[in-house]
Amino acid sequence: MTITPKRTQDSVIQMTELVLPNDTNTFGNLMGGRLMYWMDIAAALASMKHCSAPVVTASVDNISFENPIKLGNVVHIEAKVSRAFTTSMEVHLRVWGEDPVQQYRYKSNEAFMTFVALDPNGKSRIVPPIVPDTEDEKNLYDGALRRRQLRLILSGKMKPEDAEELKALFA
């Protein structure tokens, strides 16, 4: 069975949220957990758009919050599939805050999440390959193999000695 490849751009999801009092911590900033919830949804939608199937979150790489997003500010999340493997997809997310009155944007964080496509029986199913077009998409695509090996080692699903891409970095 051949599966037609799809373009990175076709998986892009843009999510916009307004930070309301219920979304904040005691400092009046957006809670990290609420942001991760929105990021998980945006990333799941991007991966579903790519594979046209239901997905589950397999893993979330480390997230560093560079700048807090304030109450009353806007959250912009961009999610896109950076690389598709056999049944899993790596999704890249970029998050910005925006002051809607002064109208300036600031970077909040960047992250990678991995999703697995499921068939109607809940078993993992094959996803289409992805074709990157822009320089940014190509860079993300090229680094995805190394990140995948690192996360599989950390989750105990790959032996370090089998991580050829990672080993090549140090050779």
Of 41 and 124, which has the nearer Cβ to ligand COA? 124
What would the two tokens of residue 7 be? 């373009």
Among 29-37, 54-62, 63-71, 161-169, the segment contacting ligand COA (CB under 6 A): 54-62
Distance of CA 158 to the CA centre of its chain: 21
Based on its alpha-carbon atoms, the radius of gyration of the chain, rounded to whole angstroms, reads 17
Q: Which of 68, 114, 141, 144 binds ligand COA (CB under 6 A)?
A: 114
Task: Please spell the DSSP secondary structure of 95-139, one letter per residue.
Answer: EEEEETTTTEEEEEEEEEEEEEEB-TTS-B-----EE--SHHHHH
**CA-CA distances (angstroms) from residue 40 to 6, 56, 117?**
22, 10, 15
Count residues binding ligand COA (CB under 6 A): 15
Q: What CA–CA distance (Å, rounded) separates 37 from 165?
A: 31
Q: What CA–CA distance (Å, rounded) separates 30 from 134?
A: 32
Q: Cβ of residue 78: shortest distance to ligand COA, in angstroms?
A: 21
20 burial class (0-12, 13-18, 19+ CB within 10 angstroms)? Answer: exposed
Show contacts with ligand COA in window 13-52 (CB under 6 A): none
Q: Cβ of residue 106: shortest distance to ligand COA, in angstroms?
A: 29
Contact 124, 58 (CB under 8 A): no
155 lies in the site for ligand COA, by CB under 6 A: yes
Q: Which of 15, 39, 75, 116 binds ligand COA (CB under 6 A)?
A: 116
Among 13-21, 67-75, 83-91, 131-139, the segment contacting ligand COA (CB under 6 A): 83-91
Q: Which of 58, 71, 150, 166 binds ligand COA (CB under 6 A)?
A: 58
Residues forming the site for ligand COA (CB under 6 A): 56-59, 85-88, 114, 116, 124, 151-152, 155, 157
